[in-house]
């Protein structure tokens, strides 16, 4: 069944969600206050690097199922409104900034008509502190026939289209799961939107608002903890001469632990994990139970330490950083992304530069982002040019082309054959045999 759908806030999450809903055959209007973004999307241009996104964006445009606007008035007749707004870290602290989300709900309330009969459904997708959904529901449900479901999004950059159209599970948070009649009505409406996903056997879990909100932040906190756990073990490995990749592989084979998210290195970054664990801690503080999530402070601290450790290692290998030619391979927070938000690689590059090193950053996709975020950071798009004359190379984002570098060939380009493998993706023996001094994080 075709439904008319809006997606309010077409950043990363919202834009992918809008195009994915059109891919499912719904008629979709994406709304954003950013005129340039709306223009680009209406032209069928992706404002960010995401495999498969531009294709479904164009298909939605060609099938006349997808358009973008800045005008809330166009949303008045829509059946289902998704809220895809960002909830960044607050400028004045660690909590989540709900300004954009609140402003969108206020604007939506202005245009939502009171309806009897079929309700209008509002579906929250943003990552929020527990309690937000109930607060917004109290506001939205003052309009007759409007109902709110909280339906967190678990997409990963680089897999965003797949994660949206073929998620591991769908989570629906409702006001009162015990209220069977009410719950059946809103669940039915959202099921109709996701019918094709559910028909493929995807599990759908219905729970209260607060549980749904907590599922999202808990999942991210767990992933961050897993990474910091293995990075803490990598510190133990460094002190004892063990190889953390051996430890990770062996513990990961216990399927209660699992091998994923056990790659030790320079740590996690991006637009989600760092801010989400901080917002989660702030939320616990607000609830008066800060100690419950105090361990996340350590998770954050371990992650920070990784970045400092790389800089120390660089200084140690070079006998000081002042004026030394250093090449940083990678700026994106992870490969196959052009996103540099809270990127460990870019942060290390900045720290090296502050310490006086002559840094050059290269990345296949993210240099535009570097120029915007750190104006004046020297960048070089051509990999060979970036490597030429380097006294130290740091591999900090594990792009495929960096993993496949030929140590003998690269040796011809650099001034001194020294490399730090900040992601543990190179074969140290192969590089050493080619005459390189190789240091890794957590490997002898």
Residues in the interface with ligand UDX (CB under 6 A) total 19
Between the alpha carbon of residue 139 and those of residues 106, 108, 143, 426, the distances in Å are 9, 11, 8, 54
Q: Tell me the pairing of strands 27-31 and 418-421.
A: unpaired
Output 5 or 332, the one with its CB closest to ligand UDX.
Answer: 332
- Cα 337 from Cα 343, distance rounded (Å): 11
- Cα 89 from Cα 226, distance rounded (Å): 22
x-marked contacts with ligand UDX along 47-86 as a string, rule CB under 6 A: ----------------------------------------
* Residue whose entry in the numeric block shows the structure tokens 């760092």: 274
Stretch that binds ligand UDX, among 28-36, 196-204, 263-271, 377-385 (CB under 6 A): 263-271
Give the full edge-to-edge strand order of the sheet including 392-395.
358-362, 325-329, 392-395, 418-421, 437-440
Residues annotated as catalytic (active site), given as ranges = 272
Q: Which of 206, 217, 223, 237 binds ligand UDX (CB under 6 A)?
A: 223
- Taking the complex as a whole, the smallest distance from the CB of residue 359 to ligand UDX amounts, in Å, to 20
Give the full edge-to-edge strand order of the sheet including 169-174.
66-69, 27-31, 4-8, 80-83, 120-124, 146-150, 169-174, 203-208
- Taking the complex as a whole, the smallest distance from the CB of residue 273 to ligand UDX amounts, in Å, to 5
Stretch that binds ligand UDX, among 167-175, 261-269, 376-384, 385-393 (CB under 6 A): 261-269
- Cα 155 from Cα 272, distance rounded (Å): 10
* Residue whose entry in the numeric block shows the structure tokens 């309010």: 8
Residue 210, token pair as written in the block: 């607060």
Is residue 335 within 8 Å of residue 401, measured between CB atoms? no
Output 12 or 209, the one with its CB closest to ligand UDX.
Answer: 12
Q: Which of 146, 148, 155, 299 binds ligand UDX (CB under 6 A)?
A: 155
Output 77 or 156, the one with its CB closest to ligand UDX.
Answer: 156
Stretch that binds ligand UDX, among 15-23, 153-161, 206-214, 384-392 (CB under 6 A): 153-161
Q: Which of 54, 261, 290, 416 binds ligand UDX (CB under 6 A)?
A: 261
Output 38 or 311, the one with its CB closest to ligand UDX.
Answer: 311
- Taking the complex as a whole, the smallest distance from the CB of residue 163 to ligand UDX amounts, in Å, to 7
Q: Which of 77, 156, 249, 409 binds ligand UDX (CB under 6 A)?
A: 156
Burial class (CB in 10 A: 0-12, 13-18, 19+), 51: middle
- Taking the complex as a whole, the smallest distance from the CB of residue 266 to ligand UDX amounts, in Å, to 7
Residue 113's nearest CA partner among 148, 78, 152 is 78
- Cα 439 from Cα 422, distance rounded (Å): 8
Binding-site residues for NAD(+) sit at: 32, 37, 87, 127, 157, 275, 341
- Taking the complex as a whole, the smallest distance from the CB of residue 43 to ligand UDX amounts, in Å, to 26
3-state secondary structure of 378: coil
Is residue 428 within 8 Å of residue 421, measured between CB atoms? yes
Residue 57, token pair as written in the block: 């964006």
The reply to whether 227 sits near ligand UDX by the rule CB under 6 A is yes
Stretch that binds ligand UDX, among 2-10, 114-122, 176-184, 260-268 (CB under 6 A): 260-268
Report phi then psi at 286, rounded to 5: -60, -30
Output 70 or 203, the one with its CB closest to ligand UDX.
Answer: 203
Among positions 310-369, residues that touch ligand UDX (CB under 6 A) are 333-334
Between the alpha carbon of residue 291 and those of residues 93, 229, 425, the distances in Å are 18, 19, 36
Among positions 157-216, residues that touch ligand UDX (CB under 6 A) are 157
Is residue 340 within 8 Å of residue 332, measured between CB atoms? yes
Q: Which helix (H) or strand (E) holds 199?
A: helix 195-199
Q: Which of 34, 94, 154, 207 binds ligand UDX (CB under 6 A)?
A: 154
Output 154 or 185, the one with its CB closest to ligand UDX.
Answer: 154
Output 51 or 290, the one with its CB closest to ligand UDX.
Answer: 51
Q: Which helix (H) or strand (E) holds 7?
A: strand 4-8
Neighbours of 65 (CB within 10 A): 19
Q: Which of 52, 95, 265, 442 binds ligand UDX (CB under 6 A)?
A: 265
Among positions 269-288, residues that touch ligand UDX (CB under 6 A) are 269-270, 272-273
Binding-site residues sit at: 32, 37, 87, 127, 154-157, 216, 261-265, 269, 275, 334, 341
3-state secondary structure of 5: strand
- Taking the complex as a whole, the smallest distance from the CB of residue 218 to ligand UDX amounts, in Å, to 11
- Cα 428 from Cα 444, distance rounded (Å): 10
Which residues make up the interface to ligand UDX (CB under 6 A)? 154-157, 220, 223, 227, 261-263, 265, 267-270, 272-273, 333-334
């Amino acid at each position: 069944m075709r439904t008319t759908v809006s997606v309010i806030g077409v950043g990363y999450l919202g834009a992918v969600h809008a195009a994915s809903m059109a891919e499912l055959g719904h008629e979709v209007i994406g709304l954003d206050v950013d005129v340039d973004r709306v223009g680009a999307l209406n032209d069928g241009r992706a404002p960010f690097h995401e495999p498969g996104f531009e294709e479904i964006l164009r298909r939605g445009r060609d099938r006349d199922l997808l358009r973008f606007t800045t005008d809330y008035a166009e949303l008045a007749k829509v059946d289902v409104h998704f809220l895809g707004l960002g909830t960044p870290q607050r400028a004045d602290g660690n909590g989540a900034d709900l300004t954009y989300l609140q402003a969108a709900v206020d604007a939506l309330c202005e245009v939502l008509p009171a309806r009897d009969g079929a309700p209008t459904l509002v579906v929250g997708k943003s990552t929020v502190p527990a309690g937000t959904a109930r607060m917004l529901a109290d506001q939205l449900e003052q309009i007759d026939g409007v109902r709110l479901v909280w339906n967190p999004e678990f997409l990963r950059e680089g897999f965003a289209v797949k994660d949206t159209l073929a998620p591991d599970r769908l989570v629906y948070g409702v006001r009162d799961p015990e209220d069977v009649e009410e719950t059946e009505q809103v669940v039915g409406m959202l099921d109709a939107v996701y019918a094709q996903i559910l028909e493929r056997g995807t599990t759908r879990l219905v729970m209260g608002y607060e549980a749904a909100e907590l599922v999202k932040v808990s999942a991210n906190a767990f992933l961050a903890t897993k990474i910091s756990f293995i990075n803490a073990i990598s510190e133990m490995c460094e002190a004892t001469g063990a190889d953390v990749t051996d430890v990770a592989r062996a513990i990961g084979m216990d399927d209660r632990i699992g091998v994923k998210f056990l790659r030790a290195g320079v740590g996690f970054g991006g637009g989600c994990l760092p801010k989400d664990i901080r917002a989660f801690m702030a939320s616990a503080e607000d609830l008066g139970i800060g100690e419950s999530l105090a361990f996340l402070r350590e998770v954050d601290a371990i992650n920070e330490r990784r970045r400092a450790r790389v800089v120390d290692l660089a200084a140690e290998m070079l006998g000081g950083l002042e004026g030394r030619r250093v090449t940083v391979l990678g700026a994106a927070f992870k490969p196959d992304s052009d996103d540099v938000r809270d990127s460990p690689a870019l942060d290390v590059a900045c720290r090296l530069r502050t310490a006086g090193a002559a840094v050059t950053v290269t990345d296949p996709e993210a240099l535009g982002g570097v120029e915007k975020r750190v104006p004046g950071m020297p960048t070089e798009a051509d990999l060979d040019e970036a490597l030429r004359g380097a006294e130290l190379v740091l591999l900090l984002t594990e792009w495929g082309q960096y993993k496949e570098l030929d140590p003998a060939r690269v040796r011809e380009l650099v001034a001194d054959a020294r490399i730090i493998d900040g992601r543990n993706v190179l074969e140290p023996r192969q590089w050493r045999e080619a005459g390189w001094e190789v240091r890794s994080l957590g490997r002898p």
